[in-house]
Amino acid sequence: MRKPEEFLILPSGSGQMAAVAHITTQQPRHSGHKIVSALANHAFVKMNGLGNEIVVVDLRQSRAVISAEDARAAASPQGAPYDQLMAIFPARTPGTDGFVRIYNNDGSEAGACGNGMRCVADVMFKESGKNALTFETSAGLINCWPGAQPLIATVDMGTPKFAWNEIPLAEPFHDTRHIELQIGPIDKPILDTPSVVSMGNPHAIFWVNDVTAYDLGKIGPLLENHPIFPERANISLCAVKSKEHLIVRTWERGAGLTKACGTAACAAAVSAARTRRTGRKVTVTLPGGDLQIEWRERDDHVLMTGPVEYEYEGRFDPALFAKA
């Protein structure tokens, strides 16, 4: 018999530093037969977007690949602990300013990271002097431009995806504004009927009155790895405070609890508008602060505006990767 405190998850119907110049890179080196990590002795910039911990590395002069083991080692306490690592590679598409690969601290890759893209954009704005940048990620092209004040940037996160097989989900759901999924006792679920959407990575938004009333550190990983999400999912709790204001907490896929998740803010804003809880322009309050989100009506692109902060610069100790 299941104990009362156990969870059952069911699909019920089935401080700014100096401007950063170009970050020098080093090619991977060979020592005997061992390939030294692309990150060994490599420069990085530690930043954050509303407390979402970001590390930026510039690999535009290298064709090196960051392995999952390397990404995990870099995130260790002896490295530069982060939620996401943003690696800038040479542009693959004419007219773009670079290809960005995004690594979670568990070594997995993400298709999008709004807070991280603002950090990358600010570094590149300072280096290039440009007032608009376009990056390519595995999820598509991302346009960025500086805000009206220093350390503020806007990122065009593209268009959301709502089809079940594009999010993706493991089985068909005709209407992804609310799907049949619950956690807790079958007759009295703790959470149920989330909205689901992809903002370059899959998101589930559970509508609640108080985002602090749930143990998201316990519930989050259970739902992240639910079979309905074949690529796992970001799990958010969202409270609607008004037609223009949302409060959101997120368990990030591959990173855990974070102070801010930009794509989750976008997913919540889009889902709230789609379910007529809000309009298309809202303030999203996260544990780390506020983001301004607009789901632009003329083309359905999602625009995210918010701050970045520089913390420190450094180089990765090669010893971190000895066992990677």
Cα 130 from chain centroid? Answer: 25
The C-alpha atoms of residue 154 and residue 117 are separated, in whole angstroms, by: 9
Amino acid letter for position 163: A
Residues composing the chain: 324
The C-alpha atoms of residue 199 and residue 220 are separated, in whole angstroms, by: 18
| 92-129 as b/e: b if 16+ CB within 10 A | eeeebbbbbbbbbbebbbbbbbbbbbbbbbbbbbeeee
Q: Give the chain's end-to-end CA distance (angstroms, integer).
A: 43
Among candidate residues 177, 146, 155, 183, the one with its CA nearest the CA of residue 164: 177
Contact at 8 Å (CB) between 218 and 252?
Answer: no
For residue 225, give Cα distances in angstroms to 40, 51, 202: 32, 25, 12
Angle between helices 114-128 and 262-274 (to 10 degrees): 120
The C-alpha atoms of residue 221 and residue 226 are separated, in whole angstroms, by: 9
Q: What is the DSSP letter of 272?
A: H
**Token pair of 289 as six digits:** 């602060």
| β-strand pairing of 234-242 with 202-207 | parallel
Query: Catalytic residue numbers?
Result: 113, 261
The C-alpha atoms of residue 94 and residue 71 are separated, in whole angstroms, by: 28
